[in-house]
């Protein structure tokens, strides 16, 4: 199983298959526009600008489960990010990351414990991603997914986007 088996909704509520991102390095993030961590959008955009031509895609999933910090419509959330932080990466429809109504993608992401990551048949420095929790603790939890759709790292909300750069470089 990998992330390519899931579909999500775009801000227009049309289904988007994650198979569309096959062969890309993905950084999947649950976000909120009214959170103290919202300035991380700036760092995410810098990563995107630096690595999009090398195959990085950032998938932004607003989530209103944490103190209702993602208010507004899907279009309003995407527009806010584009206007305030200049984001160019894809913002999707709001979804739940925890609980009974958690989106299947996030059920999968939460349950991944470790994954072998191989490059050219050799184990890389990213060979064992130690993922510690089956719940999402807060906004801006980030998952790095390799080009085959496997989760290779999970970063907590306080782990800043600029600190993810070395992991992106290693996976590219």
Dmax (CA) of the chain: 46
State the catalytic residues.
35
Rounded CA-CA distance 102/95 in Å is 7
Residue 127 backbone dihedrals phi, psi, to 5 degrees = -60, -35
Q: Give Cβ neighbours of residue 33 (< 8 Å, ≥ 6 apart).
A: 62, 69, 70, 71, 72, 77, 80, 81
Residue 144 tokens read as 């790095």
Helix (H) or strand (E) holding 105: helix 104-111
């Amino acid at each position: 199983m990998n992330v390519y088996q899931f579909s999500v909704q775009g801000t227009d509520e049309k289904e988007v298959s994650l198979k569309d991102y096959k062969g890309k390095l993905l950084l999947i993030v649950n976000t909120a526009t009214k959170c103290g961590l919202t300035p991380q959008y700036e760092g995410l955009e810098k990563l995107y600008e630096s690595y999009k031509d090398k195959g990085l895609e950032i998938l932004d999933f607003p989530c209103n489960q944490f103190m209702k910090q993602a208010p507004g419509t899907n279009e309003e959330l995407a527009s806010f990010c584009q206007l305030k932080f200049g984001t160019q990466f894809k913002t999707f429809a709001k979804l739940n990351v925890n609980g009974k109504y958690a989106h299947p993608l996030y059920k999968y992401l939460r349950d991944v414990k470790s994954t072998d990551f191989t490059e050219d048949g050799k184990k890389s420095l990213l060979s064992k991603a130690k993922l510690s929790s089956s719940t999402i603790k807060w906004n801006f939890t980030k998952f790095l997914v390799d080009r085959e759709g496997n989760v290779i790292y999970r970063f907590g909300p306080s782990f800043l986007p600029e600190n993810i750069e070395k992991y992106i470089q290693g996976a590219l």
